[in-house]
Amino acid sequence: MTTRTPGNGEVLRVDNLRLYFPIHRGLLHRHVGDVKAVDGVSFAIRHGETLGLVGESGCGKTTVGRTITRVYDPTAGEIRYHFDQGEEVNVAELQGRQLKRLRREVRMIFQDPHSSLNPRMTLRDIVGEPLRTNRMARGRALDERVAMLLERVGLRPEYMRRYPHAFSGGERQRVGIARALATEPRLVIADEAVSALDVSVRAQIINLLEDLQTELGLTYLFISHDLSVIEHICNRVIVMYLGRIVEVAETERIFATPQMPYTEALLSAVPKPDPRLRGSTTRIVLQGEVPDPANPPGGCPFHTRCRYVQERCRIETPPLREVAPGHFAACHFSEQLELRGVAAERAIA
């Protein structure tokens, strides 16, 4: 397996990405509207970094990941991917061999290690399937490659003849990671890769992902709702709400000085490992439900739940703007608000 040296160039750039799911009703199946799952998202992923994508369930973060791999076809926008040889392509336009080539370099690790593995296939078949599909190995060479991949993720090579039911959740997720690494990818999209695991197992998988990144020069898009995991593993963080990006910054900065009330509310729910700090601050409980993405509110999409809301918020949609060096937020009053982070609280100990 090839080891790459991390660099500073972009692996992927997403520009104004939109994904709308049409709503059809009636006997004539008429198009009456759209669910705006992703609505004008733009960001870039640099080679060798781990970019976190966070937000509540239904905010569109998983949809972004699946659109990048073309599980979904985007409604509008561009996804520019840079191949290792320097060639740049628009993922939205790829077909046939070019799309297959992309999926060799961009792989996914899925959330549920139980449902993402076929119970009727052995580990040899599961991990070896991408190798056979891409004609990278067969026969004895495939067995050797699968054995090496299993060993790399901390499983014994002789396990390749066993079925998924013989393994724990953490071991199954290691199988999923081995499958993702089979084609020597450059970009790995981890979609809630540790959320279904016990806390102790979760730490082991995170450490494994970090070790693999260092060893292989991987780039991660890490999708999660768990900010404590994001804080540990990510270099930068993107916060999404109702299909839009509402804040972007380096991890330390966004945890210490959030510039968007929604981010402040998310950070207030991060558990405090030090018992002396528990109960020292009040969790911010957002009132109401997330608005319907088929009928989003006017103005700021968060204004219906924001405790700092003003009349301007209900009328004017705030742009995603740079409110501090390298820190972007979609809030009219970022400079006036004194929002609470978590880094200062943890420093008390």
Residue at which a domain ends, from 234, 250, 271: 234
Residue at which a domain ends, from 234, 260, 275: 234
Arithmetic mean of pLDDT, 277-295: 77
**Whether residue 212 has pLDDT greater than 50:** yes
- The DSSP 8-state label assigned to residue 164 in this structure reads G
Q: Percentage of the chain surpassing pLDDT 90?
A: 75
Q: Do 303 and 213 reside in the same domain of the chain? A: no
* Sheet containing 321-324, strands listed edge to edge, beginning at the edge strand earlier in sequence: 106-109, 187-191, 219-223, 50-54, 236-241, 244-250, 327-329, 321-324
**Whether residue 306 has pLDDT greater than 90:** yes
Across 133-137, 279-283, 324-328, least confident range: 279-283
Q: Do 120 and 174 reside in the same domain of the chain? A: yes
pLDDT in tens, 3-28: 444 445 899 999 999 999 999 998 88
Higher-confidence residue of 340 and 43: namely: 43
Distances from the Cα of 228 to the Cαs of 78, 117, 206, in angstroms? 31, 27, 12
Question: What gap in Å lies between CA 324 and CA 112, rounded to an integer?
Answer: 38
Q: How far apart, in Å, do the first and last CA atoms of the chain sit?
A: 44
Q: Is residue 94 part of a domain?
A: yes
Q: Is residue 48 part of a domain?
A: yes
Q: Do 188 and 285 reside in the same domain of the chain? A: no
Arithmetic mean of pLDDT, 75-98: 91
How many structural domains does the chain have? 2
CATH code for the domain of 150: 3.40.50.300
Q: Do 228 and 247 reside in the same domain of the chain? A: no
Question: What gap in Å lies between CA 149 and CA 30, rounded to an integer?
Answer: 49
Q: Is residue 1 part of a domain?
A: no
Q: CA nearest 208: which of 253, 239, 176?
A: 176
CB atoms within 10 A of CB 288: 7
Q: Do 150 and 294 reside in the same domain of the chain? A: no
Arithmetic mean of pLDDT, 180-189: 96
Q: Do 194 and 85 reside in the same domain of the chain? A: yes
Q: Is residue 213 part of a domain?
A: yes
pLDDT at residue 280 in the model: 56
pLDDT in tens, 89-144: 999 999 999 999 999 999 999 988 888 899 999 999 999 999 999 989 889 999 99
Q: Do 202 and 328 reside in the same domain of the chain? A: no
pLDDT at residue 277 in the model: 54
Check: pTM over 0.75? Answer yes or no: yes
Across 82-86, 168-172, 238-242, least confident range: 82-86
pLDDT at residue 323 in the model: 95
Average pLDDT, the chain: 90
Q: Is residue 212 part of a domain?
A: yes
The owner of tokens 């450490």 is 207
Q: Do 227 and 254 reside in the same domain of the chain? A: no
Q: Do 229 and 214 reside in the same domain of the chain? A: yes
pLDDT in tens, 22-75: 999 988 889 999 999 999 999 999 999 999 999 998 899 999 999 999 999 999
Structural domain that includes position 121: 10-25+32-234
**Whether residue 221 has pLDDT greater than 60:** yes
Residues 6+ apart with CB under 8 A from 100: 134
Residue at which a domain ends, from 234, 252, 282: 234
pLDDT in tens, 134-178: 989 889 999 999 999 999 999 999 999 999 999 999 999 999 999
Q: Where are the alpha helices (DSSP H) in the chain?
A: 61-68, 96-105, 123-133, 139-152, 169-181, 199-216, 227-233, 251-256, 261-268, 311-315, 343-346
